[in-house]
């Protein structure tokens, strides 16, 4: 480990210590999700629905959420789909779009096939690893562009087996559900779609033109920002200047700077691998925001048909360490634009990862668009001096200021500068030589809103919803992981603390297997998240408040801004409704003691009777809903005043699932109370009255009888009480064998229910003996089957 690696580790060590609560006892870290829902939980609760296409996998590469038409468009391998959002899911329309005749064969011949690996090695040094693993499948048409062309058509572009192709897709007017490809519109997609299915790529369709950030050649080396498709000549980056260093594009979007439409720009978010900035050896990864004017038409003599307004700046997302050293998160993973209500400035939520080989960390930083504008108004970066260090450009900056759009602002008497072709050569030369701003863009608050450093999975996608709750406005962050799950998180800014408190509300396993999430779109109107992976797409409800439980305290402890206690259940919180005063919600502190005074927790939990036998093991189950809660057991002995906390030792163990007695003693009898402590709020989960049956008493009850195998199967059992097998049952009731015990008892005893006693429970009830020997307790509680499965 080099010295820099040590620095990073110690910084993060400090960070974790600051962030974590050094609380004693078994209280897990707050970044443990409060609720984990499995793939099947989500489906069975109708929280999610999945579309994997007719072949079981779409090989999805593009997704476009069209809220105007209420449609979701999907681009896969050799196919396109349309799903309706407002009706039964999925009801798809499909268009097959394979490569043009001969293209697949040519692709294979050109070396995108493992058999021609010699050629391939020579050709593909820059091809990313994941592509190299699946070369044969690259020779297909992966749809990577899906953009609204006009009211009736979409523009779609695909890799076309390494010959990018575009076409118009008829999607019909609003309310219609049609999808077909216009054969006459098929044309080359060079510059509009990358050749490769997996290389990072961004596009946006604005003002009748498509803006793309991509590598536009077969070898994947010529990185550029490209504009095409309108009546104007296509415009591209100046490749001589090396303006982009191996960029990985994440997002492209039109963002108006001010009400003057002439000043509108398209912004690109990406990371680059640049030569070490301090003149040292090697390369470093940095994240960027870049922009071009929409009314850029290139220069007259310089930069002909090239961008004349392109500028870029660094996006910084770092955590200060104890010694002043910063830990940087430099690899941009995803960007989400949080469009404001009128009068406020746009906020840019960006998800970053570290590029360090030593540890894997992720951070979310938020940038105000105003801060980005300020940086573009600031000094240009200039490389000078003996070591070619970077510094602010100190000389005279020509007019119009390089990088500004031709508009009223640039007009001067006699020199209107109506378009970039009018700009003096001097201005174009300057922008060509100084595309980088000197100052980096700092995040809001100077630090990330979220840092995750010890995750078992990686974070890939981010979507944010601004939610109004009773005690304020919260940004709910949805993070898509590489294991097919979505984390729902809020970051609370505690008063008087620089560090935000992170609350992971839910972890939702959207896809069955561990497939990386590659797309995520939110529909605030529908309160839905559309989550895409290579396999397909899932529709996921943003919230399902009843899942948190049926008690006020559970609803309150969930701290979900979408949910509140309405007096009888945990439901969606809607600000400004007439029932407002009845609503109980406390996101900031999650303190049910204040919010749920009327609710008596003790009263809600009934005492269940449990039997155990002397000298034998027994298990008292207690599964709290939240893994964040600390579990404590108390014992109320008959005749004693108050309950005492259960003392654990070698004989009595506290496990994650409950209390295990290795060998029961007659003195263990009494009422056991399992409580959870969370945010200072104590809650009773289970009350169990344990009665210990003396060994001698049991022996006298059941003399030795034949084993179950020796008795006739089915029907023969009902005539005599099944006393015979109690010893087998007792042997089996070690808690590792539980499923088998249930199975066994089902088989052996349930057939004897016909004796007339109406059985209540699944396997034991209705049989006196069963009740007595049962050592694992099926406690009647508010847990539904899916919660059991989720734990
Ligand atoms: C499942 O959820 C969808 C979307 O919210 C809804 O339209 C549908 O009626 C629900 N189905 C059931 C059976 O609850
Ligand atoms: C959309 O564009 C297509 C192709 O240019 C054209 O045929 C169609 O009429 C246009 N639709 C509308 C509503 O303008
Ligand atoms: C009273 C009783 O049935 N005790 C049993 C407890 O478990 C052991 C084996 O673990 C048996 O041998 C005892 O009979």
pLDDT reported for residue 489: 95
Question: What is the Å distance from ligand 3's center to 762 Cα?
Answer: 25
Question: What is the Å distance from ligand 3's center to 725 Cα?
Answer: 12
Find, among 98, 370, 407, 433, the residue nearest to 241 by Cα.
433
Q: Which ligand is nearest to the CA of 544?
A: 1
CB of 613 shorter than 6 A to ligand 3: yes
Residue with CA closest to ligand 3 atom 6: 616
Among 68, 69, 153, name the best residue to mutate to test ligand 2's pocket (greatest count of ligand atoms within 8 A of Cβ).
Answer: 153
CA–centroid distance for 71 within its chain: 22
Q: Which ligand is nearest to the CA of 151?
A: 2
CB of 150 shorter than 6 A to ligand 2: yes
CB of 698 shorter than 6 A to ligand 3: yes
CB of 695 shorter than 6 A to ligand 3: yes
CB of 55 shorter than 6 A to ligand 2: no
CA–centroid distance for 771 within its chain: 46
- Collapsing DSSP to helix, strand or coil, 170 comes out as strand
pLDDT reported for residue 165: 96
Question: What is the Å distance from ligand 2's center to 167 Cα?
Answer: 13
pLDDT reported for residue 60: 97
Q: Confirm if 757 and 764 have CB atoms less than 8 A apart.
A: no
Among 149, 152, 156, name the best residue to mutate to test ligand 2's pocket (greatest count of ligand atoms within 8 A of Cβ).
Answer: 152
Per run of 10 residues, the mean pLDDT along the chain (length 791 residues) is: 32 29 37 87 95 94 95 96 88 94 87 45 40 61 96 96 95 93 95 93 96 88 92 90 89 92 95 82 92 96 95 94 82 96 87 83 96 97 80 92 89 80 94 95 94 87 93 92 96 75 92 96 96 97 90 80 85 69 62 54 65 84 80 87 86 87 90 84 83 73 46 36 39 39 38 31 28 29 33 30
Angle at 254 between CA 528 and CA 66, to 5 degrees: 30
pLDDT reported for residue 750: 34
Question: What is the Å distance from ligand 3's center to 697 Cα?
Answer: 13
Ligand 3 atom nearest 699 alpha carbon: 1
Annotate 517-575 with DSSP letters as a single string.
EEEEEEETTTTEEEEEESS-EEEEES--GGGG-SSHHHHHHH--TTEEE-SSSEEE--T
Give backbone dihedrals phi and psi of 208, rounded to 5 degrees, phi first: 80, 5
Q: Which ligand is nearest to the CA of 523?
A: 1
Q: Confirm if 432 and 459 have CB atoms less than 8 A apart.
A: no
- The DSSP call for residue 473 is E
Question: What is the Å distance from ligand 2's center to 97 Cα?
Answer: 21
Among 727, 728, 734, 772, name the best residue to mutate to test ligand 3's pocket (greatest count of ligand atoms within 8 A of Cβ).
Answer: 727
CB of 153 shorter than 6 A to ligand 2: yes
CB of 617 shorter than 6 A to ligand 3: no
Residue with CA closest to ligand 2 atom 3: 153
CB of 615 shorter than 6 A to ligand 3: yes
Question: What is the Å distance from ligand 3's center to 615 Cα?
Answer: 7
**Bond from prior residue into 633 cis (ω within 30 degrees of 0):** no
The pair of structure tokens assigned to 147 is: 């953009």
Give backbone dihedrals phi and psi of 245, rounded to 5 degrees, phi first: -105, 100
Rounded CA separation 687/242 (Å) = 71
CATH 2.130.10.10 location in the chain: 199-454
Could you tell me how many helices (H) and strands (E) the chain has, helices first?
15, 44
pLDDT reported for residue 183: 95
pLDDT reported for residue 598: 42
Ligand 3 atom nearest 695 alpha carbon: 1
Q: Which ligand is nearest to the CA of 171?
A: 2
Q: Which ligand is nearest to the CA of 539?
A: 1
Question: What is the Å distance from ligand 3's center to 670 Cα?
Answer: 21
Ligand 3 atom nearest 613 alpha carbon: 1
Beta bridge partners of 688: 608, 672
Q: Which ligand is nearest to the CA of 733?
A: 3
pLDDT reported for residue 388: 74
Question: What is the Å distance from ligand 1's center to 571 Cα?
Answer: 16
Question: What is the Å distance from ligand 2's center to 153 Cα?
Answer: 6
Range list of β-strands (E), 25-96:
35-37, 48-51, 62-66, 71-75, 79-84, 93-96
Q: Which ligand is nearest to the CA of 90?
A: 1
Q: Which ligand is nearest to the CA of 663?
A: 3
Question: What is the Å distance from ligand 2's center to 256 Cα?
Answer: 26
CATH 2.60.40.10 location in the chain: 23-32+600-698
- Collapsing DSSP to helix, strand or coil, 384 comes out as strand
CB of 174 shorter than 6 A to ligand 2: no
pLDDT reported for residue 432: 93
Rounded CA separation 649/656 (Å) = 15
| Pair type for strands 362-368 and 143-148 | unpaired
The pair of structure tokens assigned to 778 is: 């099926």
Q: Which ligand is nearest to the CA of 149?
A: 2
Superfamily of domain 199-454: YVTN repeat-like/Quinoprotein amine dehydrogenase (2.130.10.10)
Ligand 3 atom nearest 614 alpha carbon: 1
Superfamily of domain 23-32+600-698: Immunoglobulins (2.60.40.10)
Question: What is the Å distance from ligand 3's center to 657 Cα?
Answer: 24
CB of 730 shorter than 6 A to ligand 3: yes
- Collapsing DSSP to helix, strand or coil, 601 comes out as helix
Laid out side by side, the sheet with 283-293 consists of 248-255, 265-275, 283-293, 311-315
For 523, counting Cβ atoms within 10 Å of its Cβ (0-12 exposed, 13-18 middle, 19+ buried), the class is middle
C-beta contacts of 135-139 below 8 A and 24+ residues apart: 136/108, 136/112, 137/59, 137/77, 137/197, 138/107, 138/112, 138/162, 138/196, 138/197, 139/99, 139/104, 139/107, 139/108, 139/112, 139/113
Among 615, 701, 704, name the best residue to mutate to test ligand 3's pocket (greatest count of ligand atoms within 8 A of Cβ).
Answer: 615
Residue with CA closest to ligand 3 atom 14: 727
pTM: predicted TM-score of the whole model, two decimal places: 0.73
CB of 375 shorter than 6 A to ligand 2: no
Question: What is the Å distance from ligand 3's center to 765 Cα?
Answer: 22
Among 612, 613, 616, name the best residue to mutate to test ligand 3's pocket (greatest count of ligand atoms within 8 A of Cβ).
Answer: 616
């Amino acid at each position: 480990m080099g010295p820099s690696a040590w620095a990073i580790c110690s910084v993060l060590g400090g960070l974790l210590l600051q962030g974590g609560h050094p609380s004693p006892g078994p209280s897990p870290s707050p970044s443990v999700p409060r609720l984990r829902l499995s793939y099947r939980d989500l489906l069975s609760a109708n929280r999610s629905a999945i579309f994997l296409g007719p072949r079981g996998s779409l090989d999805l590469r593009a997704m476009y959420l069209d809220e105007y038409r209420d449609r979701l468009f999907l681009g896969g391998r050799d196919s396109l789909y349309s799903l309706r959002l407002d009706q039964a899911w999925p009801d798809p329309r499909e268009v097959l779009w394979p490569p043009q005749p001969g293209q697949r064969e040519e692709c294979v011949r050109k070396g995108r096939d493992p058999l021609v690996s010699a050629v391939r090695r020579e050709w593909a040094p820059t091809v990313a690893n994941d592509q190299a693993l699946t070369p044969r499948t690259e020779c297909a048409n992966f749809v990577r562009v899906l953009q609204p062309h006009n009211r009736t058509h979409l523009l779609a572009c695909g890799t076309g087996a390494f010959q990018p192709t575009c076409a118009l897709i008829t999607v019909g007017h609003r309310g219609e559900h049609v999808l077909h490809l216009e054969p006459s519109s098929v044309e080359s997609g060079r510059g509009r779609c990358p050749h490769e299915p997996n290389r990072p790529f961004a596009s946006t369709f604005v003002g009748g033109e498509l803006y793309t950030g991509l590598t536009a050649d077969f070898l994947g080396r010529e990185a550029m920002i490209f504009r095409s498709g309108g009546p104007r000549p296509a415009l591209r980056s100046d490749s001589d200047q090396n303006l982009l260093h191996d960029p990985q594009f994440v997002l492209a979007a039109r963002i108006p700077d001010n009400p003057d439409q002439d000043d509108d720009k398209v912004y690109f978010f990406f990371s680059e691998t640049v030569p070490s900035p301090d003149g040292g050896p090697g390369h470093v990864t940095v994240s960027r925001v870049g922009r071009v004017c929409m009314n850029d038409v290139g220069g007259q003599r310089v930069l002909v048909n090239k961008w004349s307004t392109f500028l870029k700046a660094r996006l910084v997302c770092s955590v200060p360490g104890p010694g002043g050293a910063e830990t940087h998160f430099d690899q941009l993973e995803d960007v989400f634009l949080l469009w404001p209500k009128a009068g406020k400035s746009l906020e840019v939520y960006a998800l970053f990862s570290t590029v360090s080989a030593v540890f894997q960390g992720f951070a979310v930083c938020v940038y105000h668009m105003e801060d980005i504008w300020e940086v573009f108004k600031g000094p240009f970066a200039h490389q000078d001096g003996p070591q070619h260090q970077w510094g602010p450009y100190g000389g005279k900056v020509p007019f119009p200021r390089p990088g500004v759009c031709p508009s009223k602002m640039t007009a001067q008497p006699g020199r209107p500068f109506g378009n970039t072709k009018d700009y003096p050569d001097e201005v174009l030369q300057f922008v060509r030589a100084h595309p980088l701003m000197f100052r980096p863009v700092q995040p809001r608050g100077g630090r990330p809103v979220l840092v995750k450093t010890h995750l078992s999975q990686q974070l890939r996608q981010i979507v944010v919803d601004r939610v109004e709750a009773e005690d304020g406005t919260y940004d709910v962050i949805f993070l898509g992981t590489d294991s097919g799950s979505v984390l729902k998180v809020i970051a609370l800014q505690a008063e008087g603390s620089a560090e935000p408190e992170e609350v992971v509300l839910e972890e939702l396993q959207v896809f069955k297997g561990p497939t990386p999430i590659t797309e995520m779109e939110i529909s605030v109107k529908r309160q839905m998240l559309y989550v895409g992976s290579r396999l397909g797409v899932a529709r996921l409800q943003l919230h399902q408040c009843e899942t948190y439980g049926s008690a006020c305290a559970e609803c309150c402890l969930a701290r979900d801004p979408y949910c509140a206690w309405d007096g009888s259940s945990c439901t969606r919180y809607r600000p400004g409704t007439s029932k407002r005063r009845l609503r109980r919600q406390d996101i900031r502190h999650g303190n049910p003691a204040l919010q749920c005074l009327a609710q008596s927790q003790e009263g809600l939990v009934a005492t269940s009777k449990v039997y155990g036998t002397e000298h034998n093991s027994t298990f008292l189950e207690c599964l709290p809903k939240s893994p964040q809660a600390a579990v404590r057991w108390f014992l109320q002995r008959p005749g004693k005043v108050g309950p005492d906390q259960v003392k654990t030792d070698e004989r009595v163990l506290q496990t994650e699932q409950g209390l295990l007695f290795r060998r029961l003693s007659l003195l263990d009898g009494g009422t056991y109370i399992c409580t959870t402590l969370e945010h200072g709020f104590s809650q009773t989960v289970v009350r169990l009255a344990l009665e210990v049956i003396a060994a001698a008493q049991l022996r006298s009850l059941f003399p030795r009888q034949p084993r179950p195998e020796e008795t006739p199967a089915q029907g023969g059992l009902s005539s005599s009480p099944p006393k015979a097998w109690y010893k087998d049952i007792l042997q089996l009731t070690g808690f590792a064998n539980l499923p088998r015990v249930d199975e066994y008892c089902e088989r052996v005893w349930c057939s004897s229910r016909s004796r007339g006693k109406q059985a209540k429970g699944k396997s034991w009830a209705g049989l006196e003996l069963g009740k007595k020997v049962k050592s694992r307790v099926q406690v009647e509680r508010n847990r539904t089957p899916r919660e059991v499965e989720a734990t």
